[in-house]
Structure 1
Amino acid sequence: MEKVINEANETLLALENAFSKFDTSLVNKVPFEGSWTAGQLAEHLVLSNSGFLQVINGPVRETDKPADFMVAQIKKEFLNFDVKYDSPKEIYPENRAYNPSELLENLRQIRVGISEAAGNLDLTKTCSAYELPGYGFLTRLEAVYFVIYHTQRHVHQLKNIYSQLYKIDF
């Protein structure tokens, strides 16, 4: 379980580091048509990852499959950067100005929460609070990996936003 804790911490820290590189004046600037701003992307991850943290810490039941059964599929889908997904409305960020300091603090709190949950809970249990469309009820381990791969996908997008706004490679 040390591997998943380290991977989650490194991924969520990479998100914080990538987001913190943006000047405040550019956090809410649209880099290209059809894109979210860096602030919207960070807010999307705050909404998604905090929701997953609640699910991981929520009610569970015994698991009737390998705890990592869906991990490879989640990784394959989220790290395929050639496919564009639409965000569910519950975690779709509003089109507004975001406070970068507030977003960074929320991202930091989520990182700490995920690390604590992964280190202290039985990750083989199935989360019963939320059934993820297309995946079903995830084990805590699968939920942590969902956070990891979903975040890695968006770190990739955040770097693209940065390079568009600053006209340099990240």
Structure 2
Amino acid sequence: MEKILKQTDETLSALENTLSKFDSTQVNTVPFKGSWTAGQLAEHLILANSGFLQVINGAVDETDRPADLMLVQIKKDLLDADAKYSSPKEIYPEYKIYNQAELLENLKQIREGLSKAVTNLDLTRTCISYELPVYGFLTRLEAVYFVIYHTQRHVDQLKNICNSLNIN
């Protein structure tokens, strides 16, 4: 419990800290051809992670398998920097001018919500309100780690955007 709480906080804080390095212009600058802006990347994570937070806090059922069964596969898939994925349209960020302060506040609220869920909920239960393609229904534990690994993947991409824009 302590480990997952620490990983959740560290990963989501790293996202906030990296996004904080941008100024209001840079957050909306396309760093290189084919890339999202930092604002779009943050919005993608807000959409994805808030959705996962709803799933984690949503309807659950008993789990008839090890609660961590999918963790190795999720980690392998999401932390493979060479793997390229298309974002589902529900969490595809629109191309617009993003307000950095609003993005950071939304990310903070999600981080606090996940910490509360990890602390107060039975993570061995299976979330039944949403079935992921490839993985099926995840346990709360797997869903939290999906958020962690997905966020880590995009923090690395955000750091690449920083480098491309010469942001220290």
Specify the TM-score bucket, using the shorter chain as the normaliser: over 0.9
Which residue is equivalent to 1:40?
A: 40
Q: Which amino acid aligns with 1:84?
A: K
Q: Which amino acid aligns with 2:43?
A: E
1:22 corresponds to 2:59:
no
Which residue is equivalent to 1:6?
A: 6
1:154 aligned counterpart, secondary structure: helix
1:53 corresponds to 2:90:
no
1:74 aligned counterpart, secondary structure: helix
1:113 corresponds to 2:107:
no
1:24 aligned counterpart, secondary structure: coil
Which residue is equivalent to 1:156?
A: 156
TM superposition shift of 1:131: 0.1
* Distance across 2 between alignment mates of 1:102 and 1:140: 27
* Distance across 2 between alignment mates of 1:53 and 1:21: 26
1:48 aligned counterpart, secondary structure: helix
Which residue is equivalent to 2:124?
A: 124
Q: Which amino acid aligns with 2:85?
A: Y
Q: Which amino acid aligns with 1:57?
A: N
1:122 aligned counterpart, secondary structure: coil
Residue-by-residue CA offset, 1:19-42 (whole Å, 9 max, x unaligned): 000011110000000000000000
Q: Which runs of 4+ in 1 moved over 4 A?
A: none
TM superposition shift of 1:83: 1.0
1:27 aligned counterpart, secondary structure: helix
TM superposition shift of 1:163: 0.3
TM superposition shift of 1:2: 1.2
Counting aligned pairs with the same residue, the percent is: 71
* Distance across 2 between alignment mates of 1:127 and 1:73: 18
Residue-by-residue CA offset, 1:111-168 (whole Å, 9 max, x unaligned): 00000000000000000000011100000000000000000000000000010011x6
Which residue is equivalent to 1:31?
A: 31
TM superposition shift of 1:7: 0.4
Which residue is equivalent to 2:75?
A: 75
**TM-score w.r.t. structure 2 length?**
0.99
Q: Which amino acid aligns with 2:126?
A: T
Residue-by-residue CA offset, 1:21-78 (whole Å, 9 max, x unaligned): 0011110000000000000000000000000000000000000110000011000011
Uncovered stretches (5+) of structure 1, i.e. residues with no partner: none
* Distance across 2 between alignment mates of 1:78 and 1:119: 24
* Distance across 1 between alignment mates of 2:75 and 2:39: 25
1:31 aligned counterpart, secondary structure: coil
* Distance across 2 between alignment mates of 1:62 and 1:2: 23
How many correspondences in the alignment? 168
